[in-house]
Amino acid sequence: MKLNNRLYDLFLERAQKVSVEILSLGLGYTAVTTSDGGIGLSYTYFGDKKSCMVLNQHIDFEGRPADQLLERIKSGNTVERSMALALINALNYDLSLELPADDDNKIMFEKFEIGQDRRVAMVGYFGPLVRNFKEMGVALEILDISRGLGQKKEFYNRLKNWAQVLLLTSTSILNNSTEEILANSGEKVKTVMLGPSTPMVTEAFSHLPVAMLAGTVPIDKEKTLKAIRHGMGTPVLHRYSRKIFLTLPDFI
């Protein structure tokens, strides 16, 4: 996929200058720390688990140059791509720390005029947002295959002809569906890529109609790593992180 290749090219030089310190592959999320002090998160995307091995081969990436793990963003194994995306977010850590916060989603709601009767399509189920939208009277269509929500053909039709805003989980990077979904989006739809997996880097999405990136940057590294080891998800990880956003240049 073009997005994976762009991420690889954008971070290769940085990855060659540092090494992986900790690779923590949790049941919910994966975390990677790097020798320059970075830490990054990604959803742990399991494919069909048919044995006790979830990786293609045993490689100890800790202590090795980070570019060896970065290469796995192009892997056919979703767990390996999860590890590589967490690394990418670790390599981008310093820049992510400088981005403005939007912990209560107020800025996102204002920029995209999300309120009563606004038509929102959502890929991936974001429970807190769903609850907010119901209270606000937002018209909502959801596609989340893992939860049995929505039918792809019908959802794509709504995305092209009905939706005004698309909230797209960055887990779509891990199952290589980002570009397919956006190819089925209407021309006037404003898209937000969101979730802790989101790589907060404008250049990676310059070939795609994405208006905003909404991600997560860990602040308390030790508590974040412990939460990862204990299989925790976003509600716990957000206690030790800051929700950040980045508006892309072509956003109107």
Q: Say what the pLDDT of residue 48 is.
A: 64
Calpha distance 236→55 (Å, rounded)? 26
Considering the entire predicted model, what is its pTM?
A: 0.94
- Among residues 79, 97, 115, which one ends one of the domains? 97
Domain co-membership, 71 together with 158: no
Domain co-membership, 115 together with 189: yes
Domain co-membership, 196 together with 241: yes
Domain co-membership, 122 together with 188: yes
CATH number, domain with residue 45: 3.30.390.100
Q: Say what the pLDDT of residue 133 is.
A: 95
Predicted confidence pLDDT, tens digits, the chain (252 residues): 799 999 999 999 999 999 999 999 999 999 999 999 999 999 999 876 555 556 767 889 999 999 999 999 999 999 999 999 999 999 999 999 999 999 999 999 999 999 999 999 999 999 999 999 999 999 999 999 888 999 999 999 999 999 999 999 999 999 999 999 999 999 999 999 999 999 999 999 999 999 999 999 999 999 999 999 999 999 999 999 999 999 998 654
Domain co-membership, 136 together with 243: yes
Range of the domain at 55: 2-97
Domain co-membership, 118 together with 44: no
Domain co-membership, 205 together with 176: yes
Q: Say what the pLDDT of residue 52 is.
A: 57
Domain co-membership, 77 together with 159: no
- One DSSP character per residue, the chain reads -HHHHHHHHHHHHHHTT-BEEEEEE-SSEEEEEETTS-EEEEE-------SS--SSS----TTSBHHHHHGGGG-S-HHHHHHHHHHHHHHTHHHHHTSPB-TTSHHHHHHTT-STT-EEEEES--HHHHHHHHHHT-EEEEEBGGGTB--HHHHHHHHHHT-SEEEEEGGGGTTT-HHHHHHTS-TT-EEEEESTT----GGGGTTS---EEEEEEES-HHHHHHHHHTT--HHHHGGGEEEEEEE-TT--
Instruction: Confirm whether 147 is domain-assigned.
Output: yes
Q: Say what the pLDDT of residue 38 is.
A: 98
| Token pair 């390996």: residue | 80
Domain co-membership, 118 together with 242: yes
Q: Say what the pLDDT of residue 55 is.
A: 72
Domain count within the chain = 2
Calpha distance 92→115 (Å, rounded)? 33
Domain co-membership, 212 together with 158: yes
Domain co-membership, 53 together with 111: no
